Structure 1
Amino acid sequence: MLRPGYPIESARLTLRPYDESDLDDLYDIQSRPEVTRYLLFDVRDRDQVRGSLEERIRSTGLEAEGDTLTLAVTLRDSRRVIGDLMLTWTSREHRQGEIGYIFHPDHGGQGYATEAARVMMRLGFEELGLHRIVGRLNGRNAASARVLERLGMRREAHLRQNQIVKGEWADEVVYAMLEDEWRARL
């Protein structure tokens, strides 16, 4: 079980639970085609984002296999949401999890996704006790692959045309890190 103390701060970022005041910021992220291009969902209208926000507000901890912890990422001196970060507990028995992240394009290329994901991996390995964390992405999403590589994750699989995304066959790439690899990087 994982119920972090909030807020969680890194050098430049604050990770915190979502609240209703985040609707405009989350809409600004999820309504952009350049953000959703490689995601399983398409651009969302305001009502769809409101539903997405309601799910995020409830996702503040991991109590059982299948739960997802989803946190808003802000710059330390701001309440404006610049990114969306998640950790899913995929298997209790095998101590497995999956990370994911989405960032506003105005804040790309500055290392924020890597910094935030590193915090989430620490929570998964050190507080939840996971043995393995994966990151899965669309094979065309080179920017996301670079984030996972900077985290020290290893590319384990390139699955060719294994899923239909937005009406087209898409490749999926899988990265992973084991708990002992995480500890060796500390």
Structure 2
Amino acid sequence: MQFETDRLVIRPLTRADAAPLRAMIFDTRVVAYLRYQTVKTSADFERIFQEHFLADRTTTFGLERKRDHQLIGFFEFHVTGTTAALTYALSPAAWGAGYVAEAGRRLMTYGFEQLGLTRIEAHFASVNPRSGRVMAKMGMHDEGELKTVTITSGERVHVMMYALSRADWQRASA
């Protein structure tokens, strides 16, 4: 399964993506509020790369920039029934260029049309409001605080949620 936008190829990850993905996963700025902050060793990375990133070809995607064929990020759907939580990360060199919103809009279409989802959620740490703005650009609606958690650094973080229902997506797409 592969998709394109004006500037991106959204595709399953391959073995050739190991080095750029490893750089993202080991960059504390990228994973500061993601579940991958616990990946600390090459063995940890190899395990999640094999068991998750390479194995899951319908809900985990790499973002490849068309102009230079560089892997600049990834998106994941964490599906429970007909609802999915959308997670994404982007290499710092690609921050601020609108790639996440561009890919996210295309992947929400995939989620609703091909995966049969009725709701897509995305969560972000309140200390990272730019992530919330990206979710709004993808057409999602602010649903406020989901919970407060303590992350591995000991920092307490307010987890905020945006969401989009299939019905709202269909109305916006009409």
TM-score (norm 2): 0.90
Distance in 2, matches of 1:24 and 1:104, equals 12
Q: Are positions 1:44 and 2:34 aligned together?
A: no
* Contact 1:139–1:170 (CA under 8 A) maintained in structure 2: yes
* Contact 2:119–2:166 (CA under 8 A) maintained in structure 1: yes
* Contact 1:23–1:49 (CA under 8 A) maintained in structure 2: no
Equivalent of residue 17 in structure 2, options 9, 16, 22: 22
* Contact 1:31–1:44 (CA under 8 A) maintained in structure 2: yes
1:5-154 matches, within 5 Å, as: 5=1, 7-42=2-37, 44-54=40-50, 55-61=52-58, 69-91=59-81, 95-154=82-141
Distance in 1, matches of 2:167 and 2:146, equals 26
More helix by share: 2
Tell me how large the CA RMSD over aligned residues is: 1.6
Distance in 2, matches of 1:29 and 1:48, equals 14
* Contact 1:134–1:177 (CA under 8 A) maintained in structure 2: yes
* Gap runs ≥5 in structure 2: none
* Contact 1:87–1:120 (CA under 8 A) maintained in structure 2: no
Number of the residue aligned with 1:184: 171
* Contact 1:99–1:120 (CA under 8 A) maintained in structure 2: no
SS at structure 2 position matched to 1:38: coil
Q: Specify whether residues 133 and 159 from structure 1 end up closer, same or farther in structure 2 by C-alpha distance, changes over 3 A only.
A: closer
Q: Quick one: which amino acid aligns to residue 76 of structure 2?
A: M
SS at structure 1 position matched to 2:112: helix
Query: What displacement does 1:185 show?
Result: 1.8
Query: What displacement does 1:80 show?
Result: 2.1
Once the two structures are aligned, what percentage of the paired residues are identical?
A: 26
- CA deviation profile, 1:123-154 (whole Å, cap 9, x unmatched): 11112221111111222121211110111211
* Gap runs ≥5 in structure 1: 62-68
Distance in 2, matches of 1:97 and 1:31, equals 25
Query: What displacement does 1:47 show?
Result: 2.8
- CA deviation profile, 1:72-113 (whole Å, cap 9, x unmatched): 11012443210011112212xxx2111110000100111000
Distance in 1, matches of 2:3 and 2:70, equals 15
Distance in 2, matches of 1:148 and 1:165, equals 22
Query: What displacement does 1:13 show?
Result: 0.2
Q: Specify whether residues 160 and 15 from structure 1 end up closer, same or farther in structure 2 by C-alpha distance, changes over 3 A only.
A: closer
